[in-house]
Amino acid sequence: HVQLVESGGGSVQAGGSLRLSCVVSGLSLGSASVGWFRQGVGKEREGVAAIWTASGNTYLTDSVMGRFTIARDNDKTTVFLQMNNLKPEDTARYYCAAGPDPYTVIAGNLRADFPYWGQGTQVTVS
């Protein structure tokens, strides 16, 4: 049984930082894809970042490049999304997703075809 649990969301002022965590159980992170998606009120879901843990290859959407980073911890159980210089437009509910196959990017967009999803954590930037 695969379970993803996100944490680390909250309310911050513009320019601040947050670190989101996604603890994954039931799926080895030695070779897996973990992605972060977000959805704001009245907006479509957007792929923000992803990592293919077997190679360390990462993806970041253009709007967060230079501000967000994605990384896996050494114990291979948690993936972090470090978010710096947050902007009001980053306000959304952030979801962690995972799967055993490499993530897919089409036309610059991260595909949401991950089989496992968490419940999300809210990020509010004012």
pLDDT value of residue 22: 97
Query: Which amino acid is residue 120, in one-letter code?
Result: G
pLDDT digits (tens, 9 = 90+) for 31-46: 999 999 999 999 999 9
Q: Report residues of the chain scoring pLDDT below 70.
A: none
Phi-psi region of 82 (alpha: psi -120 to 50; beta: other; left: phi over 0): beta
pLDDT value of residue 82: 98
pLDDT value of residue 75: 77
pLDDT value of residue 74: 75
Pairing label, strands 78-83, 10-12: unpaired
Q: Which residues of 73-91 are buried (b: 16+ CB within 10 A; e: fewer)?
A: eeeeebbbbebeebeeebb
